[in-house]
Amino acid sequence: MKKTHKYQLLINRLNRAEGQVRALRESLEKDSIKDCKEFITQIKAARSALKHTSEQYVLMHIKKCQSLPAKKRDEQISEAIKVLASD
C-alpha cells in the first residue's frame, strides 16, 4: 500500500537528520572521533537538514494559508516568516 501522507517529505528529512544526530552522539559516546573537520562537517549537515525542513514546512504552511480570509492569512504568513527569519 502506497503511503500518501502530505508531510512525508518532511518526515523523511527529519528521519535523515535524526540518523545524522544519532551517529554524532554515538561518536561522542564511544570517543571515536578521528577527524575533527569531518565531525564538524557532519554537525553542519544535520543543522542544514533541520533548517531546510523548517523552510519547507513554512512554505507548505504559507500555501495552506492562501485559502484563509485575508486578515487571518496575512497574520499567519507574517508570523511564519518572523519565526523563520529569527534564526
Question: Which pTM value belongs to this model?
Answer: 0.76
For residue 23, give the C-alpha cell: 551517529
Calculate the alpha carbon distances from 37 to 16, 24, 27 in Å: 21, 13, 14
Q: How many Å from the N-terminal Cα to the C-terminal Cα in the chain? A: 39
Whether domain 8-85 has CATH 1.20.58.1000: the reply is yes
Q: What is the pLDDT of residues 20-71, one digit of tens each?
A: 999 999 999 999 999 999 999 999 999 999 999 988 998 888 888 888 888 8
Lowest mean pLDDT among 2-11, 50-59, 74-83: 2-11
Which phi and psi angles does 68 have, rounded to 5°?
-80, 160
Write down the domain spans for the chain. Answer: 8-85
pLDDT at 14 over 70: yes
